[in-house]
Amino acid sequence: MLAAAQEAKATIGLLKTSVPIRDTLISFGKHYLSAVLKPQLLAVRRLANHEGGRSHVGALFYERGLKVGWQMVTEFLQQSCEAGLIAIRVSPASAPNGRATASIQLRVGSRSA
């Protein structure tokens, strides 16, 4: 689990406002996919999913990992939106399952796009 935590920290560390937003998002996306598809992280996720309903392991995995990581991503995207670098549009009923979906649009011609 330590390797998974280190991988997550490295991925979140790529979210920097000092780099052009387009480069930041592409780098983050590539690193994220590479990280979540590694056998070690897949094994940890399977364990957490398997134990989710039977013990507190799944909840701990979410609370200390996924939740924290996605909160950091959310904060980065909100800051980028407030700076005028991206526009975020949320469509509450656009997904077949009724869950809200969001699209991110880079601002063409902005200082960091």
Single-letter amino acid code for the residue at 83 = A
Give the number of domains in the chain: 1
Residue 35 lies in a domain: yes
pTM higher than 0.85 for the full model? Answer: no
What pLDDT does 94 receive? 56
Residue 36 lies in a domain: yes
Residue 10 lies inside a defined structural domain of this protein? yes
Classify the phi-psi angles of 98: left when phi > 0, otherwise alpha if psi is within -120 to 50, otherwise beta.
left
For residue 100, the model assigns a pLDDT of 57
Residue 103, pLDDT score = 65
Q: CA 111 → CA 13, 20, 33, 74, distances in Å?
A: 22, 8, 27, 21
Q: What is the pLDDT of residue 18?
A: 78
The confidence score (pLDDT) of residue 58 equals: 75
Mean pLDDT in consecutive groups of 10 residues from the start of the chain, 113 residues: 65 79 88 86 82 77 80 86 81 59 57 45
Whether residue 113 lies inside any domain: the answer is no
User: What residue numbers bound the domain in which 45 lies?
Assistant: 2-76
Q: How many CB atoms lie within 10 A of CB 39?
A: 7
